[in-house]
Structure 1
Amino acid sequence: MRGDFLKVPWRRLVCNNYGAPKWIFILRLVAHGRLYTRDRLDSWGITTTQDCSLCLDGLETLAHLFFHCPYSATIWETLLHWQGIYRISMIWPDEMQWAATHANGKNSTSEVHRMVLAASVYHIWIERNHRIFQHRRRGPDEIIRQIIQEVFHRGQLRGRLAQRLEMLNFYPQLPTLPVQLV
């Protein structure tokens, strides 16, 4: 009755993710391109500015916000290095494609990567909302530590993930970031 539908390549990122439900919900919205970014709100005539609230430099689109923005790219590249993946961050469609092809297995490394991706997208979106609506700012190092702690906490509930996370450093060496006064 429902018909045949093609499977989307990012389904494994969302469906088999041990992250928090709120992380997965935001990840699903980003995968569908349904987050209310400033460029989308501007097309409806709602917002006055399209500047990115994280870096104050580019236009706030999904591709810029995840992970082309220098602020979010710093967070994502640090988390990639923490996982042992040494490459630069890409814009969202490319990042999602990379994760869909390289982190789609059932091994603990892929599961940790999917959790970290969902947590990163969620926390970057929450930081963006805090800056717009509450005028609160946190540095990338605070967000990185929070993501790692939450991933560790959720991973301890699963045996295989707990073993993989024990191999990773709970307190990674964070890069020294330039202080940005705004």
Structure 2
Amino acid sequence: MDGSLSSVQNVLQVLKEFELRSGLAVSVQKSSFYASGLTQKEVDAIQVSTGMPNGTLPVRYLGASLNKNGGGGKTRHASLSKGLMGGGDQGKIYWRIERSIWVGWFKTEVLKGSLSNFWTMKATTTNSWLANKLFKLRDEVFTWIKMKVGNGESCRLWSDNWSPFGKLSQFILSDQTSRMGIDANSTVSDLFIDGRWMIPPARSEKMVQLHIFFTAFALTDTEDCYEWVIDDKPISRFNTSQVYQKLRGQETSVPWAQSVWITGGIPRHTFLTWLFILNRCPTRDRLRSWGLQTDVVCLLCNQEPETRDHLYFHCPFSFAIWEEIGRRCDLQPLKNWDHTMIQMQSLQGNKYKKRLTLLCWQSSIYWIWQERNKRLHNQQFRSSEAITTLITRQITDRISGYRLNSPAISSIFMQLWFSTQI
């Protein structure tokens, strides 16, 4: 807000409309507002109008510190504004607000108020695609989400992952249909009555194991809580990258990965190179294989059928470009696609020179394809010398862009690049 009473009232009105639409209400009695640069009269007016007390800075909100503006000029910012925090903290807070709202909605609307329902509810057409996707993954992630039992009041006996036996509904009931009089939604604390565990008599070896477990198990006064256990190691907070890698699984890296996904690469060049390595771009031979009636002759040389292997770099036009760019990288250019791929994977020596060579290779692939498309769709023709100039300029601009994060590295690349053009 900008600190004016009208802006405060407008925000509160928006929150009221949000309450009417979502059912999620702001508790004004538990809320405060924080101001910087406002007069006492303005602060008093906001207090009277909203019924909220004026908090004092600094204060931590969703893990980020809110401080008074350190600048010399007067600011009229209140609550979550640039005058009170840096851009990084703002992004952190907005992301956490968005995440917490979605989590609150998911728990209330989809899980009907209980996180334990995640393990028992069925995917339905009324759920969103994302909700059903999460339900489909739950068997895979079950062992990663451990319920740490305290008082046992929220831990579901049959469905939560709280015992060494995993999901008890599978462990105990796999060979029988009766739950032995224990409700499907019973909590662990429901079985602890008058200081004793009220467990049905053991009628199987698995029930004997459960009885033995309960003889050494005790409830406490703390609340039940969840913890992540990835690779048998408990972690205190959720780690998106770690969970993603676990879901993705271990895959064998392809030999060309380091030649495509390079640090500081140009994204559209990298993506196009990846497509060509997989031979997924619509070259004329592929269009003909799809049943489309199209001329197959190369648009760059008009001599041979257009295929990926012809474009890179058997075509005289494209090889003239790659030959010049390769020379500037102290490289012996090859016409064969497979041999070129091996060459890119086998680059040795200075890591900066290797990275520069890969940047040039990917840029050549990109601009040759651009020229092909301009001739096909726009009837525009450029010489190989003009394409080489475009590549040279773009590589120079990319190296200059490194200066924002690391002037030293940018200088190293620039010296390498210009030394090859002499």
Short-chain TM bin: 0.7 to 0.9
**Rg larger for:** 2
Retained in 1: the 8 A contact 2:300–2:315?
A: yes
Displacement of 1:101: 1.3
Instruction: Work out whether 1:43 is the aligned partner of 2:292.
Output: no
Structure-1 separation of matches of 2:278 and 2:322: 20
The equivalent residue for 2:262 is: 16
Structure-2 separation of matches of 1:17 and 1:71: 29
Displacement of 1:2: 3.9
Percent of residue pairs bearing the same amino acid type: 29
**Could you tell me which of 150, 156, 162 is aligned with 2:411?**
162
**Could you tell me which of 269, 273, 280 is aligned with 1:34?**
280
Displacement of 1:49: 1.1
Quick one: which amino acid aligns to residue 127 of structure 1? E
The equivalent residue for 2:319 is: 73
Structure-2 separation of matches of 1:17 and 1:96: 18
Retained in 1: the 8 A contact 2:327–2:333?
A: no
The equivalent residue for 1:64 is: 310
Quick one: which amino acid aligns to residue 116 of structure 1? C
Displacement of 1:4: 3.7
Displacement of 1:106: 7.1
CA 1:47–1:108 in structure 2 vs 1: closer, same or farther (change >3 Å)?
A: farther
The equivalent residue for 2:361 is: 117
The equivalent residue for 2:351 is: 107
Displacement of 1:70: 0.4
The equivalent residue for 2:338 is: 93
Retained in 2: the 8 A contact 1:115–1:151?
A: yes
| Most deviating of 41-50 and 12-21 | 12-21
Retained in 1: the 8 A contact 2:330–2:420?
A: no
Retained in 1: the 8 A contact 2:328–2:420?
A: no
TM value normalised by structure 2: 0.38
Retained in 2: the 8 A contact 1:42–1:48?
A: yes
List per-residue Cα deviations over 1:72-126 (Å, max 9, x = no partner): 00000100111222x24222221111101116x7711011011101110000001
Structure-1 separation of matches of 2:357 and 2:410: 11
Structure-1 separation of matches of 2:357 and 2:269: 13
CA 1:143–1:65 in structure 2 vs 1: closer, same or farther (change >3 Å)?
A: same
Displacement of 1:162: 3.3
| Most deviating of 127-136 and 6-15 | 6-15
Root mean square deviation of aligned Cα: 2.1
The equivalent residue for 2:109 is: none
Structure-2 separation of matches of 1:26 and 1:131: 18
Structure-1 separation of matches of 2:398 and 2:333: 26
* Secondary structure at 2:345 match in 1: helix
Structure-2 separation of matches of 1:161 and 1:75: 25
Gaps of 5+ in 2: 1-246, 403-407
Gaps of 5+ in 1: 174-182
Retained in 2: the 8 A contact 1:89–1:95?
A: yes
CA 1:108–1:152 in structure 2 vs 1: closer, same or farther (change >3 Å)?
A: same
Aligned residues: 171
Task: Name whichever structure is richer in helix by fraction.
Answer: 1
Structure-2 separation of matches of 1:51 and 1:8: 32
The equivalent residue for 2:378 is: 134
Retained in 2: the 8 A contact 1:17–1:114?
A: no
**Could you tell me which of 145, 148, 157 is aligned with 2:392?**
148
Task: Name whichever structure is richer in strand by fraction.
Answer: 2
Higher relative contact order (CA 8 A, sep 6+): 1
* Secondary structure at 1:102 match in 2: coil
TM value normalised by structure 1: 0.85
The equivalent residue for 1:178 is: none
Displacement of 1:165: 2.6
Retained in 2: the 8 A contact 1:111–1:161?
A: no
| Most deviating of 113-122 and 18-27 | 18-27
